[in-house]
Structure 1
Amino acid sequence: MSGLRERKKERTRQALSDAAVALFLARGFDAVSVAEIAEAADVSKPTLFRYFPAKEDLALHRFADHEDEAARVVAGRPAGDSPLDALRAHVLDGLARRDPVTGLCDHPAVLAYQRLLYGTPALVARMYAYQGRSEAALAKALGGDAVDARVAAGQIVAVLRILAEENVRRIGAGESADGLYEEAVAAVERAFAGLRRGLPYA
């Protein structure tokens, strides 16, 4: 029963986020009120806030599943693979699939969402909070709260963010995902080679 309840909650959460993002894309993040989102989704404001404590979270819901992604990749890596080996393979797979999280995706709906995200200071600031939690989860997967694990996690998450942002920037400037793919792969290889030289996880 609890599984069914959780699935129902997630469907509601997704519907609320979808309604909000549609309004944000049409009119801009700052021009849309929480009351308007609640009305569009046919729920009360208190109900909306039970699912999303802040307006920014409505826009960033699609990032929620990715918040601990790097940690899950490290924790579930095959025997014999180092954390960096597993993360490198995961990123390369994402590029090949044109996963929007890698930034290497030129689907019009994804591009519109990315323009909203990177063009709204409040959402950029909120995204950094998500990345902070991603660092904490990855540090735990790497070895707990030790300073070395936290430093390593910070470097890895920063590298992943910069790689994705560069892909977003170039596709936003008019390049295609297919045309950029080989350069994006090469950038991943250089970045992970640098991490291996600087981190004890090769």
Structure 2
Amino acid sequence: MRSIEWSSGSWRQPPVRVTEEPDGSLSVEPAAGSDLWRHTSYGFVHEDAPALLAPFPTGSAVEVDLRLDYAEQFDQAGVLVWVDDRNWVKAGVEVSDGQPQVGAVVTRESSDWSVAPVPDWAGREVSVRVSRCGDALTVRARVAGEPWRLVRLAPLAPDATAFAGPYCCAPSRAGLTVRFTGWRHGSPDETLHPDPPH
């Protein structure tokens, strides 16, 4: 994987504030009430989360690192894969019901949502990896020093023009700041399932 400079991405929706820190990390403050969601269960459409995007061709992978130091309801950050306003995937860690949850939202006209609690990830550096290979996106996540966990397998047409990169949003409050510590691009995962031990 090779690092992507923050300056080589383009903001799909600009944040309230963005600062490149002396250590090379990027601090991003999303607007209060910002979110990404279409219709399902809640009945609303939101598409105003800030996301720093670069081209994401098939046969590649993107990784984003972030500090999981946010703790308010629905605070979230991770990777956004954007095709258009009706077709996109966001994956990362969102605070829900009092604890961090790793998960993904896959949107094709309407959004769905899947989560799994990861309370032991709080306060640590999280990496989110999305591989694009053939007609699929494979989403994985981990904290530093631990194995990748499969989060989601989702469809994406091989000929779709897509962009991907770090995103964050704060659906229920003002004042969230997310610190992104890395952004990389490289080769996708070769297989969905690792070889079993012999």
- Tell me the TM-score normalized by structure 1: 0.24
**Larger proportion of helix:** 1
User: Larger relative CO (CA 8 A, sep 6+): 1 or 2?
Assistant: 2
Higher normalized strand content (fraction of residues): 2
TM-score, normalised to structure 2's length? 0.24
Q: Which has the larger radius of gyration?
A: 1
